[in-house]
Amino acid sequence: MSLINSFRIQPTYSNFGSNENLSSPLDTSSKKYAYAFIPSESMVLNKVAFRLLSITGTPVAYNIRIETDDGAGRPSGALAWTNATAQVTPTASGWITETALTATGTINVGTIYHMVIQANVDPTSNYISVQENAIMPAGGSGGNLTYQTARYDGASWTTRSSGVFVLVSNATIPIRMGQVIHAGGVYTITNTVWYGMKIIAPVTATLWGCGIGKLNSTSAGIVSAKLINSSNTVLSTASIPAGWWDLNTGRDNSDLFIFDIPTVLAAGETYRIVWKDTTGNQRIEYHECASTYQDIKPGGPDYIYTTGTSSDGTASPTSWTDIAYREGQGFYLNFYVAPPTQLDDDSANDVLTQLQTTFPAGSIIDIYDALAPASPNSAHTGNILVSTTLPATPWGTPASGVMAKSGTWSATASATGIPMSARLRNSGDTKCMDFSCTGSDGTGQVKTDTTNIVGITSGATVTISSFTITA
């Protein structure tokens, strides 16, 4: 067995409050603020937004520019494309309304860009203060990008705490990305109210432990955790002895709980991991964003805060309150995953040859706008974007345990959306296999000739450009 500790959902834990309310005042026309970002997929950028901690007076107009990188991680001063600009005149603190650029332009995967903010004229006493968040890393990940922020004081650039910003694509279904965490807080866990996280399991694997960010307390409570499935059945429990939670006096920590019974979680299924304290003095932290951007917070829609009340502190809650725009600080999962079964090439080729018999010409592959269910035995809940009938000779010859599609797999789309999964089924619809699916610019096992930026459009001809199966 091998240990995986890669599902660290909200990796930071820190004192909340003032750490989220740092600011960079842009009170002279020589000062600039820059949000650097590196897209993990290419997209056409259409709109931008950022968050202000405060305004002073009646702010002047501020220019927004999308600039290239100077090779040293700072803005070059050159626009990334012609008219990669916008202008806003803020009237209140908080989020700036998503503002369209004068002209859209493509931001390419792996390339550094900078969104630069600067006053259009000298603001004197009428200026904005950009919000920064010290509990998030100055360089980190958010949505589909990595980011960093910096401030120019009129003479030089300095790296700052994480800014709060969003980029919006011009796709039919817009893609949003950015660093959206702007606030945080703390819950005091009690003997009757359980606090924690509702998760959708990222893999099918054995969960043996988890962690959550906490604040130090002067009392020595006994903190316990429960792993609960969607039917409110307790699958496993864990506890920390009195005093252990506060072993590092005066410090915050992301403490590890070891479950009494390692439990297999099924990918795509919903679970809750919740905590309580017999003394009602221990505290766990959370981060939050505007509800508008809850799907692009670090954990996305698969990891959200949850609370439930138990009448006697022992029985599990039967009803829950989920807070979709909030998630636990320092929350992570520890899995054991068995190494994959290995086949020699001849045996793997035999398996693939059998698949040719199972899914011959006339079989069907459906492209969906949602992720595949945890098992192909379950009905798919997504919408079919396009269904393609396999041609006369649909498969190439297996070699070294790999088999690729053959011939043209093409059909007319029946719906509009972004491809996310594919189901291959025989003509009698008695056998099937599920695969990930993306456009040509993605990493799906099945790729279409469309892009993730634009997606599939109803009535358009869609061709599966790439599909290989490895045994």
- pLDDT computed for residue 339 by the predictor: 58
pLDDT at 386 over 90: yes
The reply to whether 142 and 216 lie within a common domain is no
Mean pLDDT of 136-152: 54
Q: What tokens were used for 228?
A: 């609960």
Flag whether 315 is in a domain.
Answer: yes
- pLDDT computed for residue 6 by the predictor: 31
For residue 151, give its domain range. 18-179
The reply to whether 68 and 110 lie within a common domain is yes
Lowest-pLDDT range of 144-153, 240-249, 319-328: 240-249
Q: Which of 111, 146, 179 is the last residue of a domain?
A: 179
- pLDDT computed for residue 280 by the predictor: 67
Q: Is-contact 48 165, C-beta < 8 A?
A: yes
Tell me: the pLDDT tens digits for 399-410? 998 999 999 999
The reply to whether 268 and 379 lie within a common domain is no
The reply to whether 283 and 431 lie within a common domain is no
Q: Residue 158 is part of a domain; what is its CATH number? A: 2.60.120
The reply to whether 318 and 190 lie within a common domain is yes
Rounded to 5 degrees, φ, ψ at 328 are: -70, 140
pLDDT at 176 over 70: yes
Strands 432-438 and 421-425: antiparallel
Least Cα distance to 304 among 221, 197, 399 occurs for 197
The reply to whether 161 and 261 lie within a common domain is no
The reply to whether 295 and 408 lie within a common domain is no
Q: For all residues of the chain together, what is the average pLDDT? A: 82
Q: Is-contact 291 182, C-beta < 8 A?
A: no
Lowest-pLDDT range of 52-66, 168-182, 233-247, 274-288: 233-247
Of 238 and 340, which is predicted with more confidence? 238
Strands 205-215 and 332-337: antiparallel
Mean pLDDT of 137-162: 65
Flag whether 109 is in a domain.
Answer: yes
Flag whether 4 is in a domain.
Answer: no
